[in-house]
Structure 1
């Protein structure tokens, strides 16, 4: 009785599953659920050709796994090929140099970075404990909230 129901109405299960996977994929845009939806479509098609329910599940699972491991990575590579590799946000600030605008008192001060932004700054714990005066060059090593963590730039002899 239960197997008759499964064989007669499995297509409804597959359509519902495909719909759920597509909705989740639209929300995540990671191509995982798209591959599962296409695998479920394989289960639906195999059911329409008369495959028993257990074979439909097996076909859907195998097809989904093949798509996840072979098609999804290639799709990701193709879509990322034209991506801009320029760092942005915090990544763009790391390694940026700047000039101290107000001398550091108790390890805190202000710096104007080469991108034109003025930041509240503090000395990195790895920097030597010494006074940092206005006009001195520094390099950003980290960002902690709205504070740039800096170290004095090395002076190089010409």
Structure 2
């Protein structure tokens, strides 16, 4: 893509617009976290097991912390798609991240991204598999990732 196409990609009519539409969707019940079919979900960020559904955000956060306490945690999970996009990036995503970071119409979550990065440094996604049960294997392979961006979401992986 040309630099202009990359910039346009992040703008309102593309990524920013899609994110806004997704964030405006109403869950089937307040605090629900699960699949669109109201069942369990799967996300490589959390290993390779299905998880949920959760009917309270606090239950989802409890799952993320392996049941451990966090007395001051009182945030909605609206940050998830922003921090998740940085989880398994590769150098060929650099232009995509530049478009997202450079677009003022996309809400950024730098504090949540820093918190996620702290978790990623300590918790390997496969620990969820070990803690919660046997991982699911798709096509004979498990897949995972690691981040190459710094705490602000700026590319730090080189070329």
If the TM-score is normalised by the length of the shorter chain, which range does it land in? under 0.3
Please, what TM-score do these two structures have when normalized by structure 1? 0.23
The structure carrying a bigger strand percent of its residues is 1
Please, what TM-score do these two structures have when normalized by structure 2? 0.23
Q: Which has the larger radius of gyration?
A: 1
The structure carrying a bigger helix percent of its residues is 1
Relative contact order: is structure 1 or structure 2 higher (C-alpha 8 Å, sep ≥ 6)?
2
